[in-house]
A and B are shown apart, each in its own frame.
Chain A
């Protein structure tokens, strides 16, 4: 039997004005287990707290009920007071007789009666309270950033600058991501390479940053503060530590016809290649699908010309085990495939291109050295049609329902730059709405229209039909003029919707991080915790969380870094002791609880049990990781056998409260 002390607070006249506090402490003193009951003017004051502490010592209290204001106000105050008197802080319960009683009722007998019932409920609960200990778990002071685009780079730099080690895992041979492929960036029009490549170099040179390029995350185990990650370093057949990036091999390689991914297949590279001049790390990679030596053992030229002796045709995938305290997802985006949008003729004409391809065509390091030429015949285009929302805001099921957010602005940029460089070019932009809510964005868009004379037409393009003479017939509707338009274009640029990278979904499963239906990672709270995943220790940076432009990505990357730094700055994590707990004897191992857990806190173990007939049987049982569980209780209801219960809010505690409230007077 518990020895319970009841402390009824007057809160000046806040409570005592409507609740007969003496009657409450008197009535509750007769409840089973109550050995001490008192009322006092301000229980939260130092004198009041001392009353509680003294009573705990003098009466050997095992449980404390405070009838006072909301637990949201002073639960912690009284828990601390109890702890300082040697009582487990979780043996304190609050009956809210202010916000939920004295302040809403005017009639004293009614309010007093209710206060007594609320007190009884708290006493009934305390009877079933058990001392709980906040757990501690160590924090490994290293972060993993998955994805080495601008989001990952910024996050890694910020974390590293705070003094923590960071690993970047990038699946491509170089870091840099999509931003390396861009020409200029809106709204200020600085060149992407000029602002990005120094950051890439910073990453490479930072003593706290370690880059795993051409690598993928293979396996993730553990939890916040304590992740164990297996990284697969894919065989690139070049020893990274020896390669100097001199480029001798890539110049001599006889296999010339390999489509160059960096230029989106618009020109070719060799079988051994460095993606682009400023690649980080600047290390060559052999493409085993094209290399003659790897395919049939006939060549070996690159090994012959390599002065550093870096070529290693026998290289295998390597697996590296690393430990981290925090993981940042920065897996970014890709333009969607356009198979579902045949009306725009993307597959039929080389002169129908995506906006990212357009970036390459206008980039000085691109396939045309920055001169805008038609891919089909290398001639200068005189009429260009830009089509916005290709696959975005699409409810037909072919594309994406969401707005890709970046297209309005880059299309304005493309249109503007085209008109600036080639004033003889007619530029049309077809749009549903122009969305330009960022800082200086609307001004930028208006410049395109007003200063550069870009023809913005509200309406969708219905069809792009390539003609035999090489022209593209664009049929479109002008919604404002209410007429059908037919434009003879030389080049059509599709502002293609973006979607999360394909690697995000399997990664989310590994991380037990939740995703929305579009495969964007879900944030812990849409407004208040936008860079954290609901899974503790997993943070989100950049477009993996939703479409974002560069300024937003960099802000979010910094925010994610700040959260990571906050986590890594701690030596130990104190865990909330009010977490779920599974009773192995009753657990069926059915996985219902695991399905509803938003944090991936539940795993399964095969355990051996002795059966009544003295044989043993192996059963699958749930196990809750207290460092990961946040204590929502979803699992406790999903569990049909009642094996799963929540400490501090157990089934029996809540039912005791129910009983006390429903008890006949």
Chain B
């Protein structure tokens, strides 16, 4: 990794559903699978609890990347939650892209409670992608920089 980008540590917010992805993240920990400390997880009951407002708010407050993890489609603890989340996020991400915001800063990944390795790999990849993009400038409230 070149020196000039190494200094940049991105801020990553990960929303994880309680039943699959949060448990998947726990499993990554239990198996001591490394991923960067830049990722901070917020536990939500279901991916369908994640309001686009939360994602925009994170960017507003200086997040460089936001990732949403939920149960695989068809495996939702609440049967249908991730189906709604999938539509909402697809449309939101497409809109962010339309506004010229780097689409790689947002991601949805389905991670089951058994996929600790996938969770770690996903986070490693996401952090790398966001690090490559550098600081989020297009979606930030500059007042928070003070």
Query: Does A118 have its Cβ within 8 Å of any Cβ on chain B?
Result: yes
C-alpha spacing A655/B37, complex, angstroms: 20
C-alpha spacing A71/B44, complex, angstroms: 12
> CB distance B79 to A636 under 8 Å?
no
- Total of A-B residue pairs, C-beta within 8 Å: 142
- With CB as the reference atom, state the residue of chain B lying closest to A111: B37
C-alpha spacing A658/B28, complex, angstroms: 22
> CB distance A655 to B49 under 8 Å?
no
Query: Does A141 have its Cβ within 8 Å of any Cβ on chain B?
Result: no
Task: Bits for B29-56, please: 1 = Cβ < 8 Å to A, else 0.
Answer: 1101111010011111110111111100
Query: Does B114 have its Cβ within 8 Å of any Cβ on chain A?
Result: no
> CB distance A651 to B51 under 8 Å?
yes
Known interface pairs A72-B23, A114-B37, A654-B44; A103-B30 also in contact (CB < 8 Å): yes
> CB distance A637 to B42 under 8 Å?
no
> CB distance B29 to A114 under 8 Å?
no
Query: Does B6 have its Cβ within 8 Å of any Cβ on chain A?
Result: no
Instruction: Looking at the assembled complex, report how far the CB atom of A13 sits from the nearest CB atom of chain B, in whole angstroms.
Output: 13
- With CB as the reference atom, state the residue of chain A lying closest to B123: A104
> CB distance B61 to A105 under 8 Å?
no
Instruction: Looking at the assembled complex, report how far the CB atom of A531 sits from the nearest CB atom of chain B, in whole angstroms.
Output: 15
Known: A111-B37, A658-B57. 12 other contacts (CB 8 A): A70-B26, A99-B27, A99-B28, A121-B40, A514-B80, A522-B79, A596-B80, A633-B49, A637-B52, A658-B13, A658-B58, A663-B61
Q: Give chain B residues whose Cβ lies under 8 Å from the Cβ of A103.
A: 29-30, 32
Q: Which of A83-135 contact B (CB under 8 A)?
A: 96, 98-101, 103-107, 110-111, 113-114, 117-118, 121
> CB distance B35 to A633 under 8 Å?
no
- With CB as the reference atom, state the residue of chain B lying closest to A93: B43
Query: Does A664 have its Cβ within 8 Å of any Cβ on chain B?
Result: yes
Q: Which of A618-660 contact B (CB under 8 A)?
A: 630-634, 636-638, 646, 649, 651, 654-655, 657-659
Q: Give chain A residues whose Cβ lies under 8 Å from the Cβ of B29.
A: 70, 98-101, 103-104
Q: Give chain A residues whose Cβ lies under 8 Å from the Cβ of B18.
A: 72
Query: Does A498 have its Cβ within 8 Å of any Cβ on chain B?
Result: no
Task: Bits for A505-549, please: 1 = Cβ < 8 Å to B, else 0.
Answer: 000000000100000001011100000001000000000000000
Q: Which of B57-101 contact A (CB under 8 A)?
A: 57-58, 61-63, 74, 77-81, 84, 88
Q: What residues make up the interface of A, taking CB atoms closer than 8 Å to B?
A: 70-72, 96, 98-101, 103-107, 110-111, 113-114, 117-118, 121, 514, 522, 524-526, 534, 578, 596, 598, 630-634, 636-638, 646, 649, 651, 654-655, 657-659, 661-664
C-alpha spacing A199/B139, complex, angstroms: 68
> CB distance A524 to B25 under 8 Å?
no
Partner of B22, one of A72, A118, A121, A638: A72
> CB distance A101 to B37 under 8 Å?
yes
Q: Give chain B residues whose Cβ lies under 8 Å from the Cβ of A522.
A: 79
Instruction: Looking at the assembled complex, report how far the CB atom of B65 sits from the nearest CB atom of chain A, in whole angstroms.
Output: 11
Q: Give chain B residues whose Cβ lies under 8 Å from the Cβ of A98.
A: 29
Question: Which of A72, A111, A598, A661 counts the most B-chain CB atoms under 10 A from its CB?
Answer: A661
- With CB as the reference atom, state the residue of chain A lying closest to B40: A661
- With CB as the reference atom, state the residue of chain A lying closest to B17: A632
Instruction: Looking at the assembled complex, report how far the CB atom of A520 sits from the nearest CB atom of chain B, in whole angstroms.
Output: 14
Instruction: Looking at the assembled complex, report how far the CB atom of A658 sits from the nearest CB atom of chain B, in whole angstroms.
Output: 5
> CB distance B37 to A634 under 8 Å?
no
C-alpha spacing A580/B24, complex, angstroms: 26
- With CB as the reference atom, state the residue of chain B lying closest to A113: B37
C-alpha spacing A661/B51, complex, angstroms: 17
> CB distance B78 to A634 under 8 Å?
yes
> CB distance A632 to B13 under 8 Å?
no
C-alpha spacing A514/B43, complex, angstroms: 27
Query: Does B11 have its Cβ within 8 Å of any Cβ on chain A?
Result: yes
> CB distance A661 to B42 under 8 Å?
yes
Q: Give chain B residues whose Cβ lies under 8 Å from the Cβ of A526.
A: 74
Q: Give chain B residues whose Cβ lies under 8 Å from the Cβ of A631.
A: 45
Q: Which of B106-123 contact A (CB under 8 A)?
A: 120
> CB distance B40 to A118 under 8 Å?
yes
Query: Does B144 have its Cβ within 8 Å of any Cβ on chain A?
Result: yes
C-alpha spacing A524/B19, complex, angstroms: 14
> CB distance A99 to B30 under 8 Å?
yes
Known interface pairs A598-B80, A651-B53; A105-B41 also in contact (CB < 8 Å): no
C-alpha spacing A106/B34, complex, angstroms: 8
Question: Which of B40, B58, B80 counts the most A-chain CB atoms under 10 A from its CB?
Answer: B40
> CB distance B84 to A658 under 8 Å?
no
Q: Give chain B residues whose Cβ lies under 8 Å from the Cβ of A111.
A: 37
Q: Give chain A residues whose Cβ lies under 8 Å from the Cβ of B52.
A: 637
Instruction: Looking at the assembled complex, report how far the CB atom of B28 sits from the nearest CB atom of chain A, in whole angstroms.
Output: 6
> CB distance B46 to A632 under 8 Å?
yes
> CB distance B33 to A104 under 8 Å?
yes
C-alpha spacing A100/B13, complex, angstroms: 13
C-alpha spacing A632/B43, complex, angstroms: 12
> CB distance A71 to B43 under 8 Å?
yes
Known interface pairs A99-B29, A111-B37, A524-B79; A662-B13 also in contact (CB < 8 Å): yes
Q: Give chain A residues whose Cβ lies under 8 Å from the Cβ of B37.
A: 101, 104-105, 107, 110-111, 113-114
Q: Give chain A residues whose Cβ lies under 8 Å from the Cβ of B49.
A: 632-634, 636-637, 646, 649, 654
C-alpha spacing A70/B28, complex, angstroms: 12
Known interface pairs A596-B48, A598-B78, A637-B50; A104-B34 also in contact (CB < 8 Å): yes
Q: Give chain A residues whose Cβ lies under 8 Å from the Cβ of B46.
A: 632-634
Partner of A534, one of B32, B40, B78, B84: B78
Q: Give chain B residues whose Cβ lies under 8 Å from the Cβ of A632.
A: 45-46, 48-49, 77-78, 81
> CB distance B79 to A598 under 8 Å?
yes
Instruction: Looking at the assembled complex, report how far the CB atom of B108 sits from the nearest CB atom of chain A, in whole angstroms.
Output: 14
- With CB as the reference atom, state the residue of chain A lying closest to B31: A103
Q: Give chain B residues whose Cβ lies under 8 Å from the Cβ of A661.
A: 11, 13, 40, 42, 58, 63
> CB distance A659 to B33 under 8 Å?
no
- With CB as the reference atom, state the residue of chain B lying closest to A661: B40
Instruction: Looking at the assembled complex, report how far the CB atom of A300 sits from the nearest CB atom of chain B, in whole angstroms.
Output: 55
Instruction: Looking at the assembled complex, report how far the CB atom of A334 sits from the nearest CB atom of chain B, in whole angstroms.
Output: 26
Instruction: Looking at the assembled complex, report how far the CB atom of A222 sits from the nearest CB atom of chain B, in whole angstroms.
Output: 21
Q: Give chain B residues whose Cβ lies under 8 Å from the Cβ of A113.
A: 37
> CB distance B48 to A633 under 8 Å?
yes
C-alpha spacing A661/B65, complex, angstroms: 12
> CB distance A104 to B48 under 8 Å?
no
Q: Give chain A residues whose Cβ lies under 8 Å from the Cβ of B88.
A: 637
C-alpha spacing A664/B32, complex, angstroms: 28
Partner of A105, one of B34, B40, B80: B34
Q: Give chain A residues whose Cβ lies under 8 Å from the Cβ of B32.
A: 103-104
